[in-house]
Amino acid sequence: MLFWVLSLVAVAGGVAVFVVDSMARATFALLASLLAVGGTLLLVGLRYLGVLVVLMMVMEMLIMAVFMIMYMMNPGGLTPMTMVHNQRGAIAIAASVFVLLSAGVFVTPWPRRQGPPPADPTHALGLAIMGQQTLVMMVIGVAILATMISTVVLATHRGRYDR
């Protein structure tokens, strides 16, 4: 039951992103949709991916809110605006892509499961995506994070109160 509720919230939030008339509302609708996706991943046992999606989306929405406050003429983002340009073309393209993807679901010869499910689905997914390079990519990820942090530290060598 919880799976269907989260699925409904994810789809409704995704639709709301294009229906609401302000950037702030679209941001919160996107956040709700992606939190529901993260909850769905947690529900099916993919703890790492679920937590990753939730944390990533929360941080992304925080950054988006900061940029909205800094750069928008209306910092609250509540001034009505249209979020879609060329609405007829967008509807035609979206409907065509939906029909093609839906047809692909029914005509694809999906493989059958062989053997029992893995004990650790996150590890199995990592191996399926990255193969034997999973450890290398984890090390590279930490190196990239260290590079970003050191770049910020070097760029602000005198601190917040430099003047």
pLDDT digits (tens, 9 = 90+) for 85-126: 788 998 899 999 999 999 999 999 988 888 898 898 888 887
- Check whether residue 79 and residue 125 sit in a common domain: no
In a domain? residue 5? yes
Residue 40: name the closest of 53, 57, 27, 58 by CA: 53
pLDDT tens column, 69-82: 677 766 555 666 66
Last residue within a domain, chosen from 83, 99, 132: 83
- Check whether residue 72 and residue 15 sit in a common domain: yes
Q: Which residues contact 43 (CB under 8 A, 6 or more apart)?
A: 2, 3, 6, 50
- Check whether residue 127 and residue 78 sit in a common domain: no
Number of domains in the chain: 2
**Buried-exposed string 18-39: b where 16+ CB fall within 10 A, e elsewhere:** eebebbbbbbbbbbbbbbbbbb
Between CA 22 and CA 80 the distance in angstroms is 5
Q: Which residue range forms the structural domain that includes residue 125? A: 121-158
Residues 82 and 20 sit within 8 Å (Cβ to Cβ): no
Whether the predicted model's global pTM rises above the 0.75 cut: no
- Check whether residue 58 and residue 9 sit in a common domain: yes
